[in-house]
Structure 1
């Protein structure tokens, strides 16, 4: 079985992110999960990230890695733009739900050898990929924690949906059938505060993407948030593509109501912003949209950025608030 080789003709265009590259992704069947079967025989290719210059070995049969290959950077643009503003040499990043390490790599470049990155990922296969990236780029200032995080210590089942490591979850919403679960791992789960306090270096930026488990992770980080008041980015909702379920599955379907996160963060002094971008001329630039209690549950944003008035990253981000 072959794969869409003609798609490689548009690489010079997509790597420069010229206007309309998203439409080309669709036209050449590059970007979406529904085209996954067309790329099953695609090879693995190594490229340098167009921003941080680290080498990345990418499996083109995986839709997110394919997306990264054709852009030359990880696809999560708004998150990386926020990191660019906040993180400097010598800082500390915590990447929770690191998957194969795209954000870990980006953060490692920003904080440099004098900085530190804590990378949390319970999927052993993903951890091996992160190790390969670190070895490939001779990165020494990243520590991999091969555990999940919660508000209690436990052993839980990590379920991988649709053969995609980025859709690994420690909680399965009602209605998801066994045929969409491609792998299961029994993984250790720890409390973030217990692990992070082992290093006294202040935390500047904390990213959480754990497919609907964000609230429990945050509860286990209460002391960390009180102590360092880092900039925090969390996934706003989780809507896995599940063809066997007619209704969408969000955090609310799993008992993970966004209002719980809102009230938890608010009592710690944090305010939420929709994390997004706005086009200016040919480029997209960071934008932060204030979110209130009345509309956080129906937010259109994929990610929230939580900002504390005493956060050391506050000044760098204030100019992007709309």
Structure 2
């Protein structure tokens, strides 16, 4: 039922107007408290992000996490949102105005190992464009991309070199996470922020876990009771896409707000 409806709306509105409309509706529903069971990670931010936090939203897309982080960090905090796709940037700008807090900065880049231009693509599956799966095209050569974009890439350690504080990092870049984190090691060593990342692909997941372990991080997952619990070997070895939390051993962050 949902796929035919989505196709009908896309035909009627066009791709950009469709995702703009859907994102506005989604943000209003979430703001009213809808979606706690479907999107527990988004609501869990209330327990781990505090006023004054400096947060980075890598793969900001349409701004769902940016809006939530902005509200929680408040006027004394700061949110850096990394989103390289121009069409998504425009919708992000509209959506973050809903946060009502002027603490957001948009960084219009992909992140990786060099300052260059890279191609990113939005995949088409079963006749539908999946804007949330837009990725660096070279990271998955088997994917069929309905839209491609040439975007600037920057090295994260260079981009974030001027930060004086960093408390939380959310990273969702569709299988490119290892490349981001391995070029962000100086920043992570310096601040030891709590990390939330969706790790697509078993090889990518294992590489990220090994890299972050070398930086003093342990992996956790979110329990049904909305608590961080140690991640099992089976969860790390599973091919199922999931969100993982990496917490520094030296300064563990409580999952309960004061």
1:264 to 211, 230, 240: 211
Distance 1:149 1:70, change over 3 A: same
Higher RCO (CA < 8 A, seq sep 6+): 2
2:140 to 167, 173, 176: 173
Report the Cα distance in structure 1 between the residues aligned to 2:171 and 2:46, rounded to whole angstroms: 17
More helix by percentage: 2
Residue matched to 2:255? 317
Give the alignment's Cα RMSD to 1 decimal.
2.8
Residue matched to 2:72? 110
Report the Cα distance in structure 2 between the residues aligned to 1:126 and 1:299, rounded to whole angstroms: 28
TM-score (norm 2): 0.83
Deviation at 1:288, TM superposition (A): 2.7
Distance 1:153 1:297, change over 3 A: farther
1:55-204 maps to which residues of 2 (within 5 A)?
A: 58-60=20-22, 72=32, 77-135=39-97, 139-162=101-124, 163-171=129-137, 172-177=139-144, 181-200=145-164, 202-204=165-167
Deviation at 1:301, TM superposition (A): 5.7
* Structure 2 residue runs without a partner (length 5+): none
Deviation at 1:34, TM superposition (A): 6.1
Distance 1:67 1:41, change over 3 A: farther
Larger-gyration structure (1/2): 1
Deviation at 1:89, TM superposition (A): 1.1
Deviation at 1:190, TM superposition (A): 0.8
Report the Cα distance in structure 1 between the residues aligned to 2:240 and 2:98, rounded to whole angstroms: 38
Report the Cα distance in structure 2 between the residues aligned to 1:221 and 1:158, rounded to whole angstroms: 20
Deviation at 1:302, TM superposition (A): 1.3
Check whether the contact 1:83–1:205 (CA below 8 A) recurs between aligned residues: no
Deviation at 1:198, TM superposition (A): 1.6
TM-score (norm 1): 0.68
Report the Cα distance in structure 2 between the residues aligned to 1:310 and 1:131, rounded to whole angstroms: 36
* Structure 1 residue runs without a partner (length 5+): 1-28, 45-56, 238-250, 279-284
Residue matched to 1:222? 185
1:302 to 238, 242, 247: 242
**Total equivalences in the alignment:** 245
